[in-house]
Structure 1
Amino acid sequence: MDKLPKIALPVIFAVILVIILISKSAITIGSGEAGVLYKTFGGGVVTDEAPLGEGFHLVAPWNKVFIYEVRQQEKSEKMQVLSSNGLEIKLDASAWFEPKRESLGKLHQEKGQDYVGRVLLPAIRSVARSVVGRYTPEQLYSSKRDAIQQEIFEETKKIVEKQYIQLNEILVRDVTLPPAIKEAIERKLKQEQESLEYEFRLVTAQKEAEKVRIEAQGKADANMILSASLTDKILQDKGIDATIQLSESPNAKVIVIGSGESGMPIILGNQ
């Protein structure tokens, strides 16, 4: 009984020490995350091995694990840039991105956990200023927004992919022009639309007039051909045919043979 406390104390102390070591060594990496291992006595950041994946890990208590989100993320940015003629344009854009998992150690070693603020956002701002500066406010407002979005994406991607960042998309959500410039552009676009509508009506009217003229000319040509072909003999034959048809009609009539001009019959009747 006297020896039990002497044995129990070291055991209890060892158990407590193990619990402390486990608590210091246990790392749980959540869904959509990865860990970069830092070895205090083993060369610092591990860059030649895959990062720690999701789940439970035991790490030496003197080492550290830096956790990164490796799924797609979004970062919004509002910028003030200048157009090609020096007018100030407000640009609201979003970037979809994620760190390159296989290069996570190098990203941590060279850029750190604030890589978004150190690399991604400065690149987006610089490229946006360059791209928007190629266009006039009218182009930015009307027809070139998709082109601007694509150019910002492609040029930013070339920069950040060398910095261990995968850029998936750039979305230009809004382009805000100075109110006076916006109103002037809207007036010009309205006038252009009205001009196009007037030209359309004019062309339509010209086509309709041409159609009527062609139809009238066709009828006139047909009448000329018909008149040229109608001789006295043909007219007399047609008159005889008409007289025969009328004589066969049930309506009451009186036919006087040879009393008309050129000997054509005259038909008298009440119907």
Structure 2
Amino acid sequence: MERLPKIALPVVIGLVVLIILIAKSAVTIGPGEGGVIFKRFGDGIDTSQTYGEGFHIVAPWNDMIIKKVRQQSISDKMNVLSVNGLEVNVNGTVWYEPEYSKLGLLIKTKGENYVQELLAPAVNAAARSVVGRYTPEQLYSSKRDVIEQEILDEVTKLLDQQYVNVKRVLVEDVQLPATIKQAIERKLKQEQESLEYEFRLVTAQKEAEKQRIEAQGKADANKILSASLTDKILQDKGIEATNKLAESPNSKVVVIGSGDSGMPIILGNQ
């Protein structure tokens, strides 16, 4: 077997090294992700550019740091105090996304673990501030949507110029101590029953008023009718009815004289 030429070994070694360098330099950024370059022998994170989805070549002595840049969410359970000092457990979810063009600045100033080191503390602080303005009853019943908006406003202020945008805050559950919860539920039930009673009472009063008005209307109508029925009108009506009876083919009428009221007297008919 003939020996390989002396140049062959360096060529093979060079090819191996080249393949390793290409493999190390090739970076693929997935859907919904962004990347920033960390220059090992430069100034660290390159904040001038965020790399989008797809295939990229990076110098082998540099690193590509890849992070999700689409909308994401974190959920947390927090123990906070209400306005009267009662401990309340709040379960919430926050939707957020980093500013795509500022991803380098976000990582450089806040670190790669910015969710735990920046976002989560801000949400917790906002929740404590907002929940501390309300009573347990308000937290348990009708103030949920207002609380969500106030927490969102607080978080937005805390994260201003921090390169993270919070899109929405959802308060999923508010857990109170059992005794407080039962007391609130009893009070709400009593209020509901009171409202139902008042509704029935108002309805009955309206129905009674309606009947009174209808009865008064009928009485007024009868009074007007009675006042309008003079003897002359009654006599004319009687004559009109007698004429119609006389014109009927099924009747035979004999009229003799008149009654005390001046009306004709009908003696017989068939």
TM-score above 0.5: yes
For the structure 1 residues 255 and 5, does the alpha-carbon distance in structure 2 shift closer, same or farther, using more than 3 Å as the test?
same
**CA positional deviation for 1:183:** 2.4
1:263 and 1:255 map into 2 onto residues whose CA distance is 16
- Structure 1 segments, 4+ long, off by >6 Å, are none
Structural mapping, 1:69-218, within 5 Å: 69-218=68-217
Structure 2 SS opposite 1:257: strand
Q: Note the aligned Cα RMSD (angstroms).
A: 2.4
Rate the CA distance shift 1:51–1:257 in 2: closer, same or farther, 3 A.
same
TM-score by length of 2: 0.89
Say if 1:40 and 1:242 are closer, same or farther in 2 by CA, change over 3 A.
same
CA offset digits 1:123-176 (Å, max 9, x no partner): 111101111111122222221101111111121122224221121211111122
Asked whether the equivalents of residues 35 and 65 of structure 1 are also in contact (C-alpha less than 8 Å), the reply is: yes
2:234 and 2:54 map into 1 onto residues whose CA distance is 109
Change (3 A) 1:31 1:218: closer
Query: Distance in 1 between the 2:164 and 2:76 partners?
Result: 17
Deviates most, 150-159 or 118-127: 150-159
Report which stretch shifted further, 103-112 or 243-252: 243-252
2:193 and 2:266 mapped to 1: Cα distance?
64
The change in CA–CA distance for 1:26 and 1:222 in structure 2 (over 3 A counts) is: closer
Q: 1:222 to 1:16 in 2, by over 3 A?
A: closer
Aligned to 2:37: 37
Equivalent position SS for 1:5: coil
- Residue 50 of structure 2 corresponds to 51
- Normalised by the length of structure 1, the TM-score is 0.88
The residue number in structure 1 matching 2:66 is 67
Structure 2 unaligned spans of 5+: none
Contact 2:256 2:267 in 1 (8 A): no
1:10 has 2:19 as partner: no
Aligned pairs, number: 270
The residue that corresponds to 2:25 in the other structure is 25
For residue 111 of structure 1, report the CA deviation from its aligned partner.
1.2
Counterpart CA distance in 2 for 1:186 and 1:11 is 82
Contact 2:75 2:93 in 1 (8 A): yes
